[in-house]
Amino acid sequence: MSHVLAAVAWPYANGPRHIGHVSGFGVPSDVFSRFMRMSGHDVLMVSGTDEHGTPIQVQADAEGVTPRELADRYNRVIVEDLHGLGLSYDLFTRTTTRNHYAVVQELFTGLHENGYIIAKTTLGAKSPSTGRTLPDRYIEGTCPICGYTGARGDQCDNCGNQLDPEQLIDPRSKINGETPEFVETEHFFLDLPAFAEALGKWLDTRDDWRPNVLKFSRNLLEDLQPRAITRDLEWGVPIPLDDWRDRNDKRIYVWFDAVIGYLSASIEWARRSGEPDAWRKWWQDSDALGYYFMGKDNIVFHSVIWPGLLLGYSGEGDKGGKPGSLGALNLPTEVVSSEYLTMEGRKFSSSRKVVIYVRDFLERYDADALRYFIAAAGPESNDTDFTWAEFVRRNNDELVAGWGNLVNRCVSMAAKNFGAIPEPGELTDEDRAVLDTARAGFASVGALLGKHRQKAAIGEAMRVVAEANKYLSDQAPWKLKDEASKPRMGTILHVALQVISDCNTLLTPFLPHSAQKVHELLGGTGVHAPMPSIVEVEDLDGGPAYPVLTGDYTVGATWESVPIKTGISLAAPKPVFKKLDPSVIEEELERLGS
Ligand SMILES: [Zn+2]
């Protein structure tokens, strides 16, 4: 039994999240964490909203609110969405807590003391009218290489070349159209090349990662450059150095602060648990495991930059040094990255309305219907398309007809004929075979889940469900109604209900809401699949209050076959899943913009 950190990507709080976001990291990390807890591991699943940076500042300006007000609004929306999906965070917090500021500043200080943070003078674009820095992506102009007039300050989408904003011909602000001024400005950089050797040695030990992630990460090491970790901005974590900490125009760059969130959230969780040092078991024990979940656009931060930062803080880069005051910190065990989800063949786009937000989805459909689609057909290792037709088909053919009907038929037949879980008589070979198949599922589904092969894992669980359906139609217990054959009917239903109970456990990490219902239909009481709660908390260090997601996940089912209890009374069941009318496909397609 190990301490397992599930470090989940931090959603950016500039708007509601759509189902593409949660299919990449949210649901897969929850499936993994639930499985690991059921298998007896001590899981710490943490994340929060990422709330600093220019996009939030720019959007707040446009709406005439403060960045904090904007972040407050979307922090709450995102917390409620993740709650609706049943994502079992031990702590889902935010980057505007005082605890987070202190941990970010501690890592900055440790890296600085070890010599891994270097100062450099660069050219920065400023808005002449507001005096504010214009980030690269908010500058547009003509590409100096191909002449494309819509090139951005960071790259030309026409020829694909990387650019610096001062190279653009006729540069202009995307915010208000004015011509930016370029001025010299001093910034701090993380000395990434100083970690190249240590990172290379570490990646050589990571041979069980998904091959695309490993190859991509190794390639990044070929050309590591120092990376800016401060920005000309008012909204963010202050720079913890003399002559800098009181400046209002320089802040720590949002990416640097956000990756440190995994650690600060773990520390916040420990402080809230009443054991302020408890986080160390996940970050410093040599046998602790750390899994990081994200979309593929974030691999670089988790397989190279964050490990570099951890090495530097621990004093393990080329320049040596000693661990900062928190002590040396563990590197990730695995970076679990997913690919992209598209929507009806197109990229998700809020501006073009090619989108469905989590909130809207959950108003019309059940969370487990989406969780099932993501597990069975999500972007685990390939870019994948979400179509409403496929969503409805999988819901109706697989969840409702395959699994829900099996539960419904067996429970209602047992309720009607016995009023309880019937007693089994002597078992036939067929009875024993289907029981063995279900029990074997714990090893086969578990092995796949442990290797982050969730698509194959749910396929394997549904194969067991199909075997159970076949057993039921072969045995046809509904034909055995006369008094003489009723004992055999009882045996078949007993076997079928045991297999259903096992299948329900196998499906619990994927479908926690319906697993709880099936547990209760089988006469079970208490918590089978624990759920997160939204709790309003005070900031631990005197900042404003905020909502967090948290829960007690030490209760619930374990990953094993548990014998059902003969004689437990059963009632006529309500359907576990909702069958969808095919007309919703047309309705949803009409909602999509073109
Ligand atoms: Zn170009």
Q: Supply the pTM of this predicted model.
A: 0.94
The predicted pLDDT at position 275 comes to 98
The answer to whether the CB of 25 falls within 8 A of the CB of 296 is no
- Taking a 5 Å cut-off on Cβ, the residues next to ion ligand 1 are 143, 145-146, 148, 156, 158-159
Q: Residue 3 forms beta bridges with which residues?
A: 42
Convert the pLDDT of each residue in 327-361 to its tens digit.
Answer: 999 999 999 999 999 999 989 888 788 899 999 99
Residues of the chain with pLDDT under 50: none
Cα 66 to averaged position of ligand 1 atoms, centre (Å) = 36
Cα 227 to averaged position of ligand 1 atoms, centre (Å) = 24
Cα 146 to averaged position of ligand 1 atoms, centre (Å) = 4
Give kind and range of the element (H or E) at residue 338.
strand 334-338
The predicted pLDDT at position 174 comes to 87
Cα 166 to averaged position of ligand 1 atoms, centre (Å) = 14
The predicted pLDDT at position 594 comes to 62
Closest CA to 336 of 13, 36, 61: 36
Cα 128 to averaged position of ligand 1 atoms, centre (Å) = 26
Convert the pLDDT of each residue in 253-308 to its tens digit.
Answer: 999 999 999 999 999 999 999 999 999 999 999 999 999 999 988 899 999 999 99
Cα 164 to averaged position of ligand 1 atoms, centre (Å) = 12
The predicted pLDDT at position 29 comes to 98
Cα 181 to averaged position of ligand 1 atoms, centre (Å) = 22
- Alpha-carbon span 355 to 350, nearest angstrom: 6
Cα 182 to averaged position of ligand 1 atoms, centre (Å) = 21
Cα 152 to averaged position of ligand 1 atoms, centre (Å) = 9
Cα 159 to averaged position of ligand 1 atoms, centre (Å) = 4
Cα 140 to averaged position of ligand 1 atoms, centre (Å) = 12
The answer to whether the CB of 49 falls within 8 A of the CB of 265 is no
Cα 55 to averaged position of ligand 1 atoms, centre (Å) = 24
Cα 131 to averaged position of ligand 1 atoms, centre (Å) = 29
Closest CA to 122 of 190, 182, 53, 57: 182
Cα 295 to averaged position of ligand 1 atoms, centre (Å) = 27
Cα 157 to averaged position of ligand 1 atoms, centre (Å) = 7
Question: First CA to last CA across the chain, in angstroms?
Answer: 51
Q: DSSP per residue over 24-53, as a string?
A: IIIHHHHHHHHHHHHTT-EEEEEEEEB--S
Cα 148 to averaged position of ligand 1 atoms, centre (Å) = 5
Cα 161 to averaged position of ligand 1 atoms, centre (Å) = 6
The answer to whether the CB of 544 falls within 8 A of the CB of 101 is no
Cα 170 to averaged position of ligand 1 atoms, centre (Å) = 14
Long-range contacts of 276-284 (CB under 8 A, 24+ apart): 279/44, 280/327, 281/3, 281/42, 282/3, 282/4, 282/5, 282/44, 282/330, 283/5, 283/329, 283/330, 284/327, 284/328, 284/329, 284/330
Cα 62 to averaged position of ligand 1 atoms, centre (Å) = 29
The predicted pLDDT at position 262 comes to 98
Cα 176 to averaged position of ligand 1 atoms, centre (Å) = 23
Name the percent of the chain in helix, strand, coil, to the closest 5.
45, 15, 40
Cα 177 to averaged position of ligand 1 atoms, centre (Å) = 20
Residue 572 burial class via C-beta count within 10 angstroms: exposed 0-12, middle 13-18, buried 19 and up: exposed
